[in-house]
Amino acid sequence: MDDSRIQKPNLGYPYEFTLNELDAAQQCIEAHGFAIIKKVLCDELVKELQESVQQVLDPDNALGAGNSFTHSAFIEDSPTMWKLLDHEPYLRAQRTFCLSEDLAILRTAAILRNPGSAPLAWHSDFCGFSNDPPKFSGDILNRGPWPSGLWFYITGSNPEHGGLALIEDSHLEDWTPPEGFQFTPDRRSFHKKGTEPDRYVGFDVPGLVPIITDPCDQIVFASRTYHAAFPNRTDRVRLSCAIIYRPRAYRIEAPWPLSVKAQAFLKALPLRLQPFVEGYVGIDNDWSGEQGKMG
């Protein structure tokens, strides 16, 4: 597939909205599993976030061509991201999408994908398909009904540049993979019938929507929506970041202790922003259910 030839799709319904159309955006998310909100951030804040992601994830440009890196607790290292918590138009949108006036930070992330980096396989962030004991930190964090995608692709999203792709309507509880595909055993991805049950890497999936945005736009998708990312075929780094919220009343019981860095973040955050970290548990990427049993 020639990614450079992929155009913004006409889906027969609006999926791009302004900050004055948040109720319509939420209706689109409920109906089709995603929406794009235009011009949520100003150019100055976009530039600051670009610089912060680059500085935190690859300050010496040592990552190398073809490589990528994900920081799964980005706000703990990026005071620039704290500025989102003071940005009322942005917060108004997040309250709408999370169906709560009182938000708390569930998790944050930033991703840097250098030129030549590989595609990201299809998956859903949702970990509530099974009631088995949790096996990793995502099993604890990613079980709520709030959006798992509240992303800014701060260098823009388009297929040639490692942009996002998702499958419309795949957030519905009765959704099944397209013809010729079947779920992986954990239901968090799918594969072609007759192949090994590994997460599918490819962009010939019916219902695929390539997401094309400007750096100031927010990409919102529902908790169950299946998504992937194209390879970065350009000569430019691709940067993205997100804060995922939960309603403050929804408490997370984490089996890992707060890291030293998380504790420092909580202490440093200004008093006026402290409600956003009520019940904050951070993340431990090395935690496993087996460790929990042993402990």
Report domain extents, the chain: 3-294
Q: What is the pLDDT of residue 293?
A: 46
Q: Whole-structure pTM over 0.85, yes or no?
A: yes
Question: 249 pLDDT band (50/70/90 cuts)?
Answer: very high
The per-residue pLDDT for range 222-248, each reduced to its tens digit, is 999 999 999 999 999 999 999 999 999
Q: Which CATH number applies to 3-294: 1.10.275.10, 3.40.640.10, 2.60.120.620, 3.30.43.10?
A: 2.60.120.620
How far apart are alpha carbons 90 and 88 in whole angstroms?
Answer: 5
Largest pairwise CA distance in the chain: 56
Question: 295 pLDDT band (50/70/90 cuts)?
Answer: very low
How far apart are alpha carbons 145 and 16 in whole angstroms?
Answer: 22
Please, are residues 200 and 190 in contact by the beta-carbon 8 Å criterion?
Answer: yes
Q: Which of 160, 138, 88 is nearest to 244 (CA)?
A: 138
Q: What is the pLDDT of residue 291?
A: 57
Look-up: residue for tokens 């689109």?
28
Mean pLDDT, the chain, rounded, equals 95
Whether residue 254 is predicted with pLDDT greater than 90 in this model: the reply is yes
Q: What is the pLDDT of residue 294?
A: 36
Rounded to the nearest angstrom, the gap between the alpha carbon of residue 206 and the centroid of all alpha carbons in its chain is: 22
Segment 249-261 shows an average pLDDT of: 95
Q: What is the pLDDT of residue 8?
A: 86
Contacts of 253 (CB under 8 A, 6+ apart): 140
Segment 96-116 shows an average pLDDT of: 98
Question: 6 pLDDT band (50/70/90 cuts)?
Answer: confident
How far apart are alpha carbons 290 and 293 in whole angstroms?
Answer: 5
Q: What is the pLDDT of residue 1?
A: 53
The per-residue pLDDT for range 15-58, each reduced to its tens digit, is 999 999 999 999 999 999 999 999 999 999 999 999 999 999 99
Please, are residues 224 and 105 in contact by the beta-carbon 8 Å criterion?
Answer: no
Instruction: Please state which of the ranges 104-108, 132-136, 247-251, 290-294 shows the lowest mean pLDDT.
Output: 290-294
Whether residue 160 is predicted with pLDDT greater than 60 in this model: the reply is yes
Please, are residues 220 and 29 in contact by the beta-carbon 8 Å criterion?
Answer: yes
Whether residue 105 is predicted with pLDDT greater than 80 in this model: the reply is yes
Segment 94-116 shows an average pLDDT of: 98
Question: 131 pLDDT band (50/70/90 cuts)?
Answer: confident
| Cα first-last separation, the chain | 49
Look-up: residue for tokens 């990201």?
120
Q: What is the pLDDT of residue 220?
A: 98
Q: What is the pLDDT of residue 141?
A: 96
